[in-house]
Each structure stands twice: as C-alpha cells, then as structure tokens.
C-alpha cells in the first residue's frame, strides 16, 4: 500500500468503528471543557468525569470560580492528582477570563496558551471540541498509533501533530483525533495489546513494530 492508501484505509476503518464519536470529557460549554481538559492531565477521563460535577456544582463559570479560594478548589479536585498545580491554574485562568475576556473563553489557540496551566494540547482540544475549529491535539494514544502505523517517527508530539496535519484532510481533524483516541484505548493499547484485534496496525503497521510484536509473542 502507498502512504496515501494507508491513510484512506485508516480513515475508512475509523469511520466504520466510530460513526458517532463520543466526547470523552463531560462538559456543557467552552469554560467547563477547558477546566475538564486541564484536570485530565496525567489523570483518566473517568476520574475527571467523577470530579467535575462536584466542582461545577460549586462553580461552573469563571465568576463563581474566583469566589472560591485556591485551597477550596484543591480540596474538591484532589482525587484527579496534581491538585496544587491544577487548583492554582483553575483559579488563575478564571481570574484572567473575568478581568480580560468578560468571562468568555477565547477561540484562539495562541491566546489560550497564555492562560495559566494551559498548554498547546489543552488549547487545541478546546478550540476543536468547543468551537469546531480544526485542530489535532496529540495525546499518548495518538502519539503511539501514529508511530505504530508508520505515519510519524515518534520523535516527539510536536512532530506527530505536524505529520498528522500533513497526512489527514483538515476537515477531518476534529473527528479523527477523537476516533484515534478511542481506537487506541479499545484496540491498540500500550499494555495488553492484542494485534489480532487491531485491524489497522495488523494491516498497515510499521514493519519494525510488527516484527517486535512477533518476537515477544514467540518468547
């Protein structure tokens, strides 16, 4: 298969498996999505979805959030981990939204990246899922699969994002990044990986990856 045929095959399989794409983090608007994505760093979506209702019951907008202290926010979000840093980030970005943006989350990745605790991936998720602006946030699943499929070198997430944007049509980015995440979780995980269930890697996978898998199986 040519690279182009491999890309087409990948899109076809992902569309068949995920015609309707669930959004991993529960939210009701751009602000609650921003907070949920920030909380998800080095945590699981399941854990975040258990905690955000408790936080949003107290404050689901930046005006109410800054009425809470950093310590109060920290107490609520402790189970998701990294709570000292995340609570300061939540309070800080909420204050910035109120003081500089009339409480409205900006739709620009570059502006979002100026907020406390908001990196490129978080900003990309927000513009993509909240505003429908094409972006390709790269998480560990996407980084792993782009390497397994021979679409990127696996050097770093910046390179992976650049390769994904170059290979996949822009109008599909927002759907594809979510489809690849779900596929990575369900069919091509880092641990407990069964190649028989992983039709994409089995069909188009990087030769080195397939050889290493076969060697492990043979032991």
* Per-residue confidence in pLDDT tens, the chain, 219 aa: 999 999 999 999 999 999 999 889 999 999 999 999 999 999 999 999 999 999 999 999 999 999 999 999 999 999 999 999 999 999 999 999 999 999 999 999 999 999 999 999 999 999 999 999 999 999 999 999 999 999 999 899 999 999 999 999 999 999 999 999 999 999 999 999 999 999 999 999 999 999 999 998 887
* Per-residue model confidence (pLDDT) at position 218: 85
Whole-angstrom distance, CA of residue 94 vs CA of residue 66:
6
**pLDDT reported for residue 219:** 78
Rounded CA-CA distance 73/21 in Å is 31
| Whole-prediction pTM | 0.91
Q: What's the confidence (pLDDT) of residue 23? A: 85
**Structural contact between residues 201 and 149, judged by C-beta atoms closer than 8 angstroms:** yes
Closest-CA residue to 141 (of 176, 92, 99): 176
| Residues designated as active site | 121, 139
Q: What angle do CA 83, 84, 89 make, to 5 degrees?
A: 90
Measured distance CA(159)–CA(165) in Å, rounded: 10
Residue-level pLDDT at 14? 98
Q: What is the pLDDT of residue 16?
A: 98
At 53 the pLDDT is 97
């Amino acid at each position: 298969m040519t690279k182009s045929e491999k890309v087409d095959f990948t899109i076809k399989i992902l569309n068949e498996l995920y015609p309707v794409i669930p959004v991993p983090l529960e939210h009701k608007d751009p602000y609650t999505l921003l907070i949920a994505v920030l909380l998800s760093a080095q945590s699981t979506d399941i854990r975040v979805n258990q905690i955000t209702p408790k936080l949003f019951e107290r404050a689901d907008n930046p005006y109410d959030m800054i009425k809470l202290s950093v310590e109060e926010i920290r107490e609520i979000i402790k189970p998701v981990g990294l709570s000292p840093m995340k609570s300061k980030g939540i309070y800080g970005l909420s204050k910035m939204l109120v003081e500089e943006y009339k409480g409205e989350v900006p739709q620009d990745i570059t502006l979002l990246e100026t907020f406390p605790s908001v990196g490129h991936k978080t900003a990309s998720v927000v513009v993509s899922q909240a505003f429908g602006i094409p972006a390709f946030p790269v998480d560990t699943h996407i980084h792993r699969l782009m390497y397994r499929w021979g679409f990127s070198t696996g050097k770093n997430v910046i390179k992976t994002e650049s390769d994904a944007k170059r290979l996949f049509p822009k109008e599909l980015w927002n759907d594809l990044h979510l489809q690849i995440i779900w596929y990575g979780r369900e069919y091509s995980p880092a641990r407990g990986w069964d190649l028989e269930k992983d039709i994409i890697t089995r069909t188009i996978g990087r030769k080195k990856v397939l050889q290493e898998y076969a060697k492990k199986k043979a032991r």
